[in-house]
């Protein structure tokens, strides 16, 4: 067990720090959170800077235009950019972390050449059209239909909770190409398509979150035509195509966030010190407990990253253990922030009040905590599936 970084890793860190110190002061001011076009431009601009400096697609394979960095280098990258206060991945999230890697793994050479470079260069934004009004946790029951018509699929249905749909160019879309029947289980007849968001028949209706912003949207699809050439993987094989990326991660999913939470925790302590609530023993101990929690989450991150380095990727189940604990800890952090703020915790102009509201999505998005617990119980601990309920998986 070794927690020290190798010489190469430290060199990588030093180079990155130097670059960050040089470029961050020249960044344009952060856009207004409600101004989506400005946010898009800002996030893409940052991606372009990373590209020009050779940091784009750090964790992508070299033959996909990435840098093929080790998981530890990726960890260092995420840690250092967060510490330096660099912009978040933002609107580039789906492209860099999901659609891109999926195309890199499953796409044809033409598909890779068409879609991957613009993601790396910060030219195009992607969104993820998976969830539907009647298919959330039970994603495989999705009903958006795609019917083959010559060289096109004709798609009708609707998606929901699609983050960044308002400003996206492309949507990684899951559609049903074969109806569910006695012979076709629900996760069989699904296909993975790339849909241009500006195609005729696509209507994006922003949804307001409880935090007041429009982070995600409903996407209505009315006979939208998508060329067959936009299909990644075989017809009806979309579930597997999706899982290839979803089920493998390198333990780095929340690196930046854990670093950020630790910084916030320090700020909370200093604020409590200033406003006098530090004298409250119960609150102080709660802050101490949270320090232990986030220190341990950081160690678990290092453990998972090292493990994925050893095994070439941790199956997503290890990620489930982490996500369960982290999403809960993040909510506890901002509930504690409310204790520190006192009456100010009801004031939306306080940064932590909005963050507290956003933290509520963490136990829901990307697999609810209940679903994550099912995954841990069934796939790690080997407990039997519930016979009355789901037949998927």
Partner 1 sequence: MHFQLTDDQRALQTGVRELLAGRFGREALRAAVDAAGVDGSGARLDRGLWRELGEAGFFALCLPEADGGVGLGLPEAVLAFEEAGRVLLPGPLIATHLAAGTVPGAAEGLTVVTAVDGVVDGTGGGALVEWLDEADVVQGDASGAVPLQSVDPLTPLHRVHAVVGNRSAGRWGSPLLERSRELGGGWAQPTTAGADNSFAELLGAAEQLGGATRTCDMAVRYARERQQFGRPIGSFQAVKHLCAQMLVRTEMARAAVYAASVTADPLDIATARLLADEAAVRGARDCLQVHGGMGFTWEADVHMYLKRAWVRARRGQSTAVHEESLAADLLLPEKR
Ligand X SMILES: Cc1cc2nc3c(=O)[nH]c(=O)nc-3n(C[C@H](O)[C@H](O)[C@H](O)COP(=O)(O)OP(=O)(O)OC[C@H]3O[C@@H](n4cnc5c(N)ncnc54)[C@H](O)[C@@H]3O)c2cc1C
Stretch 251-290 residues interacting with partner 1 (CB under 8 A): 263, 265-266, 268-270, 273, 284-285, 287-289
Cβ-based nearer residue to ligand X, 34 or 288: 34
Of the candidate spans 160-168, 239-247, 285-293, 328-336, the one that interacts with ligand X by CB under 6 A turns out to be 160-168
Query: With CB under 6 A, what is the number of residues at the site for ligand X?
Result: 21
Q: Which of ligand X, partner 1, none has residue 162 at its interface (CB below 5 to 8 Å by kind)?
A: ligand X
Could you tell which of ligand X, partner 1, none binds residue 131, using a CB distance below 5 to 8 A set by kind? ligand X
Q: Decide: is 391 part of the binding site for partner 1 (CB under 8 A).
A: no
Least distance CB 267 / partner 1 (angstroms)? 9
Catalytic-residue membership of 307: no
Q: Which residue has the tokens 């991660």?
A: 249
Q: Which of 368, 376, 378, 379 binds ligand X (CB under 6 A)?
A: 368
Question: Binder to partner 1 among 373, 391, 392, 393 (CB under 8 A)?
Answer: 373
Give 98-127 as a 3 state SS string.
Answer: HHHHHHHHHCCHHHHHHHHHHHHHCCCCEE
Give the relative orientation of helices 255-275 and 281-311 as an angle to the nearest 10 degrees: 170
Nearest CA to 207 out of 161, 168, 264 is that of: 161
Q: Least separation, in Å, of the C-beta of 343 and partner 1?
A: 23
Contact residue for ligand X among 370, 383, 391, 392 (CB under 6 A): 370
Q: What CA–CA distance (Å, rounded) separates 63 from 47?
A: 19
> Which listed residue (32, 183, 310, 343) binds partner 1 by CB under 8 A?
310
| Residue among 275, 383, 392, 393 that touches partner 1 (CB under 8 A) | 383
Q: Does 321 bind partner 1 (CB under 8 A)?
A: yes
The C-alpha atoms of residue 210 and residue 389 are separated, in whole angstroms, by 31
Q: What is the largest CA-CA distance in the chain?
A: 72
Distance, in Å, from the CA atom of 279 to the CA atom of 373, rounded to the nearest integer, reads 37
Question: Is the CB of residue 129 less than 8 Å from the CB of residue 207?
Answer: no
Stretch that binds ligand X, among 131-139, 218-226, 238-246, 320-328 (CB under 6 A): 131-139
Asked if 216 interacts with ligand X (CB under 6 A), we say yes
In DSSP notation, 319-367 reads: HHHHHHHHHHHHHHHHHHHHHHHGGGGG-TTSHHHHHHHHHGGGGTTTS
Q: Contact between 275 and ligand X (CB under 6 A)?
A: no
Considering the complex, what minimum distance in angstroms separates the CB of residue 80 from ligand X? 26
**Binding to ligand X (CB under 6 A): which residues in 303-362?**
361
- Tokens linked to 154: 């004709």
Q: How far is CA 358 from the centre of its chain?
A: 14
Question: Residue 24, SS3?
Answer: helix
Using CB distances below 5 to 8 A depending on partner kind, what does residue 365 bind out of ligand X, partner 1, none?
ligand X
Number of residues that bind partner 1 (CB under 8 A): 54
348 or 383, CB closer to partner 1?
383
In the structure encoding, which two tokens stand for residue 364, read together? 């829901």
Q: Please give the DSSP secondary-structure letter assigned to residue 254.
A: T
Q: Binding partner of residue 364 among ligand X, partner 1, none, CB under 5 to 8 Å per kind?
A: ligand X
* Per annotation, catalytic residue among 215, 249, 307, 351: 249
| DSSP annotation string for 56-85 | TTTTS-GGGTS----HHHHHHHHHHHHHTT
C-alpha 194/C-alpha 171 separation (Å) is 6
* Among 267, 243, 246, 257, CA closest to 75: 257
Query: Which residues of this chain interact with partner 1, rule CB under 8 A?
Result: 1-6, 9, 72, 83, 263, 265-266, 268-270, 273, 284-285, 287-289, 291-293, 295-297, 299-300, 302-303, 305-307, 309-310, 321, 324-325, 370, 372-374, 376-378, 380-387
Residues involved in catalysis:
249
């Amino acid at each position: 067990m070794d927690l020290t970084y190798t010489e190469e890793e430290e060199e990588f860190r030093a180079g990155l720090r130097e670059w960050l110190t040089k470029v961050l002061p020249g960044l344009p001011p952060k856009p207004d959170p409600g101004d989506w076009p400005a946010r898009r431009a800002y996030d893409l601009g940052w991606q372009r800077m990373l590209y020009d400096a050779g940091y784009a697609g750090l964790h992508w394979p070299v033959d996909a235009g990435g840098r093929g960095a080790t998981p530890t280098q990726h960890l260092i990258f995420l840690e250092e950019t967060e510490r330096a206060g660099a912009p978040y991945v933002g609107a580039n999230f789906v492209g860099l972390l999901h659609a891109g890697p999926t195309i890199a793994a499953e796409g044809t050479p033409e598909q890779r050449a068409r879609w991957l470079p613009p993601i790396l260069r910060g030219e195009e934004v992607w969104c993820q059209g998976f969830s539907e009004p009647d298919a959330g946790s039970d994603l495989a029951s999705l009903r958006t239909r795609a019917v083959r018509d010559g060289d096109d699929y004709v798609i009708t249905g609707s998606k929901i909770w699609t983050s960044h749909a308002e400003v996206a160019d492309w949507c990684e879309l899951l559609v049903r190409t074969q109806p569910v029947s006695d012979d076709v289980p629900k996760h069989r007849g699904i296909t993975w398509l790339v849909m241009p968001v500006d195609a005729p028949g696509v209507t994006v209706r922003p949804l307001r979150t409880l935090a007041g912003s429009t982070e995600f949207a409903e996407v209505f699809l009315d006979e939208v035509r998508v060329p067959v050439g936009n299909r990644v993987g075989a017809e009806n094989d979309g579930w597997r195509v999706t899982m290839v990326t979803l089920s493998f991660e390198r333990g780095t999913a929340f690196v930046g966030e854990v670093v950020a939470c630790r910084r916030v925790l320090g700020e909370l302590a200093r604020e409590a010190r200033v406003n006098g609530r530090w004298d409250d023993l119960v609150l102080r101990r709660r802050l101490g407990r949270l320090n232990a929690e986030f220190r341990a989450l950081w160690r678990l991150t290092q453990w998972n990253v090292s493990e994925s380095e050893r095994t070439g990727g941790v199956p997503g189940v290890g990620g489930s253990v982490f996500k369960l604990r982290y999403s809960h800890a993040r909510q506890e952090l901002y509930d504690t922030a409310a204790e520190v703020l006192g009456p100010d915790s009801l004031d939306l102009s306080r940064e932590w009040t909005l963050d507290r509201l956003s933290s509520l999505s963490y136990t829901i998005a990307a697999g609810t905590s209940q679903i994550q617990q099912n995954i841990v119980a069934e796939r790690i601990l080997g407990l039997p599936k519930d016979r009355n309920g789901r037949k998927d998986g």
